[in-house]
Amino acid sequence: MDQKKAMAEMEAYIQKFPENLLHAVEIGKKAIENFKSAKVNKVAIVGLGGSGIGGKVISDIVWDLCQAPIHFVQDYEIPAWVDEQTLFIAVSYSGNTEETLSALDLALAKNASVTCITSGGKLAEIAAAKNLNCITIPGGQPPRTSFGFNAAQNLFVLDAFGLIPNSDYPNQLIAAGELLRENQEKIKEEAREIAKKIAGSLPVIYSSNRIEGSVVRLRQQINENAKQLCWHHVLPEMNHNELVGWAGAPNNIAVIFIHSPEDHPKTVKRQMLTVDIIKKHARNIIDLHPRGESRIERIYWLIHFGDWISYYLAELNRVDPIEIGVIDYFKAELGKS
């Protein structure tokens, strides 16, 4: 695709993110009205790439609310503990992700309580044939641009199974959508400035582990949209290993520290000490403070802000933010075996 045309297409997808989120609330509310639920004591979410990251982000939102542990499956197989008391959420935007379909077959064989989140494909066909819970979201766009639609559905599924009692998440999701819509131009302006600071560098993103899902999402977007390598780590863990590696750091690293008002006081101190140690090695150090009144608002602000950073990086790198030819090639070669 022509780079100019691709930029316009990606811009439109990101611009619609707030509206997609508001639409997602309507979809989720309606979908769970007719859900079949069972008593469960653990959750497994299977999903890859743009389909899977939503579950990780939502687990950050409900870490102190959810009444069951949440585990992520990003493989063809499933853990041995999956059983009839497991809520198994299968997420595939296309509905054709081979790892997800493989894991789903195994979960069904173990009589897990399965719910599907998809726009169609084989996953929707299986859900219909086996009368499984299914939330259908709009299709027809790159999976990574569907985050506004798909991530929130995990909250509705957890709610339908009674795992996040007394949560006000629907109203908080609506507030997040309105916050992003009202501040869209300011978000774009600030994201453009950060993109300029990390262009031509190897970005490294650090945060507390409380918001790691959002950081993974930012890393993925820089990888796919901007065609630029990036890595991330979380504190305190980073201080126990990666910190030593900075002694041999190259001179082209730009660091983004993402802060949250929910960071533990000791983690805040760790961040300050980490900056003191790595600043002589880093080209730039950027502090980022997500905005919003609630955890949901701040996390969705960070997701949307990160999407715009990746967009402006793609512009600066003069690359097509839509194109993922190497992944298409990889899948085609896998299909030959």
Is 37 within the bounds of a domain? yes
For residue 8, what are the CA distances in angstroms to 100, 126, 136, 173?
A: 31, 35, 27, 27
Q: What is the mean pLDDT of residues 101-110?
A: 98
Is 329 within the bounds of a domain? no
Is 323 within the bounds of a domain? no
Say yes or no: 187 and 162 in one domain.
no
Report pLDDT for 326. Answer: 86
Q: What is the mean pLDDT of residues 265-281?
A: 96
Of 141, 174, 207, the one marking the end of a domain is 174
Domain count, the chain: 2
- Examine the residue annotation and report whether 262 is marked as an active-site residue of this protein: no
For residue 327, pLDDT beyond 90? no
User: From CA 71, how far away is CA 207, in angstroms rounded?
Assistant: 21
Say yes or no: 298 and 151 in one domain.
no
Say yes or no: 13 and 41 in one domain.
yes
User: From CA 138, how far away is CA 134, in angstroms rounded?
Assistant: 13
What's the gap between Cα 61 and its chain centre?
Answer: 12
Domain extent for 209: 183-317
For residue 337, pLDDT beyond 80? no
Average pLDDT along the chain: 95
Is 335 within the bounds of a domain? no
Catalytic residue among 36, 39, 186, 331: 331
Domain harbouring 47, CATH code: 3.40.50.10490
- Examine the residue annotation and report whether 233 is marked as an active-site residue of this protein: no
Is 216 within the bounds of a domain? yes
Q: What DSSP assignment string belongs to 173-208?
A: HHHHHHHHHHTHHHHHHHHHHHHHHHTTSEEEEEEE
* 67 within 8 A of 164, measured Cβ to Cβ: yes
| Pairing of β 70-73 and β 202-208 | unpaired
Say yes or no: 232 and 160 in one domain.
no
Catalytic residue among 33, 185, 240, 280: 240
Say yes or no: 163 and 298 in one domain.
no
Share above pLDDT 90 across residues of the chain, in percent, rounded to a whole number:
93
| Confidence class for position 189, pLDDT limits 50, 70, 90 | very high
Share above pLDDT 70 across residues of the chain, in percent, rounded to a whole number:
100
Say yes or no: 25 and 166 in one domain.
yes
Catalytic residue among 224, 233, 304, 315: 224
- Examine the residue annotation and report whether 232 is marked as an active-site residue of this protein: no
